[in-house]
Structure 1
Amino acid sequence: MTDSQPARRSDTTRAGILRAARARFAADGYQRATIRAIAADAGIDPSMVMRYYGNKAQLFAAAVNADLRLPDVDGIPRDQLGETLVAHFIRRWEGDPTDDALLTLLRSAATDEDAAQRLRGVFREQVAPVAVRVSADPAEAALRAGLVATQMLGLALCRHILRLPPVAGATPETLVVQVGATVQRYLTGPL
């Protein structure tokens, strides 16, 4: 056995724990998810979860480290920002919603203040800079970013968590056009 094999096994175990934790937190929320259930989902002993992540709060923090991976908006024409952002979010969510930290945060934020705080931070740190591109006034940019968040989080809630039939069944193209127009107005329209 080479020195790199234990490191690879450790990385594989960590990744498996995070996948199981994201899925469990997404399904059960922070309050109901347990270390035992996450360990069972990962096919390991609960002590291994504790060894790698310390406790449930630290595991949750690692599992919901949400990077929106927003596109660089500097190269996007101003009148296409709304549709571009909506298309980006839909592409992320349509891949594997159970592995998306943002959806996991959204599910947990309603019942856990730490999750709500993390979700606010994600939008403050990652969406607000997009709004700054269209408004030099910090208060106006913050309001625009907040309004964009209402649409994106509302869309995620209705499509992936509540599975509201008309929204869950809509094509991504329809959502990009319809929700994109609202996001565009929030970004560039009069307030």
Structure 2
Amino acid sequence: MTSSVIAPRCSRLAPGERGGPIDERGLPDLRDRARARVRTVLAAVPLPRPWSMNAWVDGLEAWRGREIDLVPIDYRPGQPSGAWQARPDYDLIAYTEHTSALHQDHIIAHELAHMLCAHTGTCLMAESEAAELAPDLAPAALSHLLTRVTSGTEEYEAELIAVLLMSAATSEPPAVQPGASGRAADQARRLAALLG
């Protein structure tokens, strides 16, 4: 039996990677672009009150004319807590299933930011590696979902947009549904103020 090399597939985040260095000279412009993007998106798709990520994603789907599937995944240490994949007819966002509702929403918001910014990255994982990580998923789907490394700048931009979105989503009582921590919502607002 001969072994064959399987070409890597593209996705968004490799295990253990955080995106690399950030060119700090461009941060003021990046922050301005992130704020402008959030203003544009929220003008087109207002946040539902009370806050619901599912309801907001429904609005994003209508605005973009493209479905977004949210898929809960088991988190394993060293693996990404979320990922985005653009498929031919829809977008797929995976998020950690066993965490707080507010944390899930933040993970989803981060991945939505990658989607809204159309971030790209470098391929790293082969289908055989993907099959070991998630035997229940088609290897090509998992490798495409979990292995593209984005730049530090893209990660920073996605995180900033997620913080701005979640800060807006949790800004008015009762913005956060029962089960989410008021302390976490306060921390998200403080972080957004620091980044702003």
| TM-score, length-scaled by structure 1 | 0.30
Between the two structures, name the one with larger relative contact order (CA 8 Å, sep ≥ 6). Answer: 2
Higher strand fraction (1 or 2): 2
| TM-score, length-scaled by structure 2 | 0.29
Higher helix fraction (1 or 2): 1
